Amino acid sequence: MPSTYIPGRSAEDVARAYGINLDQVIKLGSNENALGPSPRAVEAIKRHLSEISVYPSLGYGDLKDALARYVGCAAERIIVGNGSDDLLNTLLRYLLVPDDQAVIPVPTYSYYEVIVEAGHGTCVYVDRAADFSVDVDAIIGALTDRTKLIFLCAPNNPTGNAIEKAALKRLLRSTEALVVLDEAYAEFASESHIDLVNHFDNLMVSRTFSKAFGLAGLRLGYAVLNEELAHSYDRLMLAFSVNQLAVKGGIAALSDRAFLERTVSMVELGRQYIREKLPLKTYPSEANFVFVDAAPYNSRELLEYLLRKGIIIRNCDTFRGCSNSHLRITVGQPWQNTALIDAINEFVTST
């Protein structure tokens, strides 16, 4: 059976299925920004709305320049896509030839295996340690002369933990395979490793506007990598796959430092609150979600209980390497976090 990517449920779907008003649904299942979009991005999109009659400027120079300033590297090393999933899908399918191997430490974001299989490659799964940290020795032990890619996600979806710079450097030095580091949640973490792209040609770091910038529906992602691969990608990418409003919204969002700070501070306080109040085992998180082991409860039973109250969280039994008691909860606004904790307390006392 080919792997399939299973996204979190939408608010519309849950409202319809459970007969709840759409505006009463609390969506904490897809790691979006509970504050909504960056207001500057919204303003810029409105201002440039009439430009949808023209094609975007091919090459995306203005967007790449703004990203280069944001991440601190040369614009020539930056590529953009219609979300980071699109970008990885385009580049990695081009790189993979049949029988290539990709090492994937699990549990992690399940889209990587979908890309590898679609490119007729083979996934080699390596377990993370008991605390979900990346086991660099296990990855090195899994490398063969057919290893083309190594996927790392930090902070990791769904477990929320980061990777240490020293461990990443050790891995980068021990292989020529391309290490794809997914930093979709970098803004919420204590450190990023994007600077290492300037020192290691076998490192690619992907990022997204879908999380901290609140632009998941706009579809905009980027990556930083060596210039040669960046060049290949620009030749390969579907012309105009990033639309004009995403360009304008993305540039404006990068300049909206006040919104970014508000978002990060809401997330830091919220994840601390959730970890303190939840009557279940939680794990430390450097992302905008908290990973939970609901044992002795079954995650789907708890999920169903919450859905009937209009609260969406994510069961993790569909992630390779997770159990049927694992859950992922996106940090919401304070009132949403409180409603969630109250509902889970009710579940625990009634079960």
Binding site for ligand PLP (CB under 6 A): 31, 83-85, 109, 153, 157, 182, 184, 208, 210, 216, 221
Contact call for residues 293 and 326 (beta carbons, < 8 A): yes
Query: Beta strand pairing status for 26-27 and 78-81?
Result: unpaired
Concatenated DSSP letters of 292-335: EE-TTS-HHHHHHHHHHTTEE-EE-TTSTT--TTEEEEE---HH
Min separation Cβ 84 and ligand PLP, Å: 4
Min separation Cβ 88 and ligand PLP, Å: 8
Start-to-end CA distance of the chain, whole Å, equals 36
Cβ distance to ligand PLP smaller for residue 11 or 343:
11
Query: How does DSSP classify residue 282?
Result: E
Cβ distance to ligand PLP smaller for residue 192 or 297:
192
Cβ distance to ligand PLP smaller for residue 84 or 161:
84
Q: For residues 99 and 107, what is the distance between their CA atoms, to the nearest angstrom?
A: 23
Cβ distance to ligand PLP smaller for residue 71 or 184:
184
Min separation Cβ 85 and ligand PLP, Å: 3
Min separation Cβ 6 and ligand PLP, Å: 11
The residue sitting closest to ligand PLP, measured at its beta carbon, is: 83
State the angle between helix axes of 111-118 and 84-95 in degrees (0 to 180), rounded to the nearest 10. 30
Min separation Cβ 157 and ligand PLP, Å: 4
Contact call for residues 102 and 150 (beta carbons, < 8 A): yes
Cβ distance to ligand PLP smaller for residue 31 or 315:
31
